[in-house]
Amino acid sequence: MIYYDQNDILIRDMENQDPEIITREEHLQGWTHQKKEKYEQRLKDVAEKKCVALVAEYQKNVAGYFNVYFNTKCSIFQNKGYPELIDLGVFVKYRKKGIGNILMEVAENIAKKYADTVIIGVGLHRDYGQAQRMYVKRGFIFDGSGLWWKGKPLEPYADLKNDDEAALYMYKKLR
């Protein structure tokens, strides 16, 4: 399905060839910790009707991705039927073209079909700085549940590795 198609940007459902392309692009920009299996799992989750997996194209090249899961498993809203936006990624060479905001808009519109509130987790290290600012600008606020690591709340004063598994959760009222 195509969700958006304007000004060289296309947002569509993830397809079988995308995990290979996405992983290759991430490795080319130095994100070598990313594995193709992560994106193959997204396709399995789509088949099991757990989520919508989106891919952004810029001038017919895969430029990014985003996922809408129908029931968050994290934050104070876990298992209450609120969709969670997971894993927003725009490749560095395609940034500053509005792709991230368009992916957010499409994902929020999908989430709005399922609930009046949407959840998103945001990482803590500097690579997430642009995302942190964008989420606040788009009206997301912190849920107050504190720091989560590997899908669980982190106890006060616990040791933490500042990796992609560390997140603060935010929510936004959609309607």
Q: What digits encode the pLDDT tens for the residues 67-88?
A: 999 998 888 888 899 999 999 9
Please report, for the domain that includes residue 84, its CATH number.
3.40.630.30
Residue ranges making up the domain that contains 83: 2-173
Q: What digits encode the pLDDT tens for the residues 99-151?
A: 999 999 999 999 999 999 999 999 999 989 999 999 999 999 999 999 999 98
Most confident of 29-38, 92-101, 160-169: 92-101
Res. 95: pLDDT tops 90: yes
Task: Note whether 61 and 21 are within 8 A (CB).
Answer: no
Total domain count for the chain?
Answer: 1
pTM over 0.85: yes
- Which of 170, 13, 157 has its CA nearest to residue 85? 170
The pLDDT of 166-174, averaged and rounded, is 96
As a whole number of angstroms, the distance between CA 62 and CA 15 comes to 11
Res. 160: pLDDT tops 90: no
